Structures are given as structure tokens and as C-alpha cells.
A = this chain, B = another copy of it.
Amino acid sequence: MLLNSDHSMKKHNFSAGPSILPKEVIIQAAESVLDINESGLSLLEISHRSKAFIDIMEEARSLVLELTKLNGKDYSVLFLQGGASTQFSMVPYNILSKKAAYLDTGSWSSKAIKEAKLFGEINEVASSKDSNYNYIPKNYKIPDNCDYFHCTSNNTIYGTQIRKFQSSKIPKVCDMSSDIFSRQLDFSKFDLIYAGAQKNLGPAGATIVIVKNSILGKSSRNIPSMMDYQTHINKSSLYNTPPVFSVYVSLLNMRWLKSNGGIKRLEEINTKKATILYSEIDINPHFKGYAKEEDRSIMNATFSLINDDFKETFDSMLKNAGIVGINGHRNIGGYRASMYNAMPIDSVKTLVEVMSELENKV
């Protein structure tokens, strides 16, 4: 029964998150649920204090450092719960003493700002809210008199992505939920990186945090244990029961990433996929892109039909081609094609073929 799952038409899954994972990761994940390491036990029923799971957590943490080239540097890697939404308050809880600088590039930045305001004064250095976040603000200055600067590297909803990160004298915090491990960056330029796993890293339920140890311990605030990075650092992410399955599947995905050439190789493929799709958006007279060209995300492409009368026809063509998860977010409408690491080029080509066929149909 388990092996007969390929009965249905091949799906091209453009979902924005939770999202596509490599087929081999999914098969290994299913196997682990039945039996982990030929132990006769399911991954779901072993203790998080067992050697099997401690090894999983250690390998996951060390692969994060390896992939980001941060090993040997002053960083701790944590696997937590609660998603980026929890980090929106956990960050200021730990490192906002008086004032912090935030860049507003979309819904998630705005939510991060709203939560941070409970903890101190917020200097919003720039915002693209005026044009519904279809671009990344650039000519802003990061002030020196703030505890940290916070930005969102990729804006899933709007399909924009920061190409160049400004340098700053204050610690730099980045929400990389939707593009971590998709492109090469000098990760050592950041002091705190966090990401909900369910986009480019693994399944829902785990949150990765990479934090420079030296920025911690400066706040005099009383922090609830679970909100305190130091709690989790001291216990190597095993202070309380971690999200065992999500951590393991994230590990499987990082192993896949490493064996497929690492971030460098994936960035090449991601760029190629994005180029194929954006080229079609630009040359096809039926479509227009949403994001400003120079700020386009290689993870999430947002676009819409120029004439909405064709929507029914196009949607039915998408469905017939097995393309799913491509509806735009309610904030901007239209379509959104998310092309995370695990998305094969073939799926993007299939989408482009359907877009191109629309010309012949209407």
C-alpha cells in the first residue's frame, strides 16, 4: 500500500509554504516513521534523550554551520518551535534594551515591528508600504544608536528579495524564513538569523536560529526560560522536548542539499529556474510581474493576468497540467510561483509551457 503512492498524476507543487521537499527526503521521512535506524522503533516513539536523537540533533546543528560556513566561528545553532512569529518577540526579548531599527518590506516585517514595539522604541528606517511592498527600499541609513537592525531577506507574499545587504555598525538580525540556503551569502555579516523551517528547510514545526554568542547577555530583562536563547544554547536545543520529526526531516533535507552541491550549486539552479519564469512573464503579452525587476525574488515569483477574463481558462489549464499551490496571496491577488530548492526545473518549464499555450488559446 505504502509503495503505491505514485498512482496519481505528477503534481507540480508551487506552494509558498509548507512547500515542496525532495522526493527522496519524503521517502526517507516516511521510512523513519515506520522504523528509525532499523531499531524496531518509530522515530515518533523514541526519547529525545536517546543516542539516536541526540546524534540527529548534533548532525543537524553542525550541517547548518557547515552549509553557512560559520563553523569555528562564535555562533550557536538552535532548533526551536513557534516559527518566525515567535522570533518576532523572542529577538527583542533577548537583545532590545532601548531602541532598535527595522526595515519594513512587507507583512512579515510589519508583524516583527509590531511585536518589537512591546519591548522598546522602534526606528523604522524605511518602508515600501506606500506601493504595497512591490520593491525593496534602498537609500536608507542604518543608525548607530540602536541595539540592532532587523530586516526580512525575502518577502514571500510580494515576491521581493534583498539583493544587497547594507553594512552597519550595530548587530544585524535577519528573518530568512523563505530563502535560507537558497543563495550564497556571507552569513558572518549577520549576528542573528532565524527561519521557520517550512519553506526552504523542512516541514512545519521547527524553527532554526543562528545566533552570535557575543550579542547575548546584555539585556537586564527577566526573560521567560523558553524565550531565552541562552536556555537553549546551554542545553544544545534539548532544554525541553524538541519537535523531533521536523528536526529529523530538516536534517534529511540538509543532507540532500549537501550531496547535491550545497548552496552554491542550488543557487545556480534557483537562478536558472527564476530566469526561465521571469523571462516568460516579461515576454508573454498576457502577464505582468508584480515586483520591481531589480528586487525580484528567485524564490517566489508574483505575477498576474493582464486581462482577468482569461482567468478561468488559465486556471483550468494549470489544473490540467498538475500545477498546484500557485494562487497569489490575498494581499496582492494574481499568482505566485514558489520555486524553493526542492522544485525541479521541469516543474518551472511545465508552468512556462502552460503560460505560453495561453497565447494560442485566447
Report which A residues bind B (CB closer than 8 A).
Answer: 1-3, 5, 7-11, 13, 15-21, 26-27, 29-31, 33-35, 38-42, 44-48, 81-86, 88-89, 93, 111, 114-115, 118, 196, 198, 203-206, 222, 224-227, 239-246, 249, 322, 324-325
Contacts and interface: CB of A to CB of B under 8 A. Distances in A.
A205 B240 CA distance: 11
A111 B240 CA distance: 11
Given A20-B45, A205-B206, 4 more contacts: A5-B34, A81-B205, A93-B224, A204-B241
Nearest to A83: B240
B47 A18 contact: yes
A85 to B, nearest CB: 4
Nearest to A85: B240
B242 A40 contact: no
Most buried by B among A20, A26, A30, A89: A30
A40 B47 CA distance: 32
Given A2-B30, A34-B26, A40-B8, A243 B204 contact: yes
Nearest to A42: B26
Contact of A18 (B21, B44, B203, B324): B44
Contact of A39 (B8, B29, B198, B239): B8
Contacts of A3: 2-3
Interface centre among A9, A19, A86, A114, by most B CB within 10 Å? Answer: A86
B29 A45 contact: no
Contacts of A206: 205
A249 B44 contact: yes
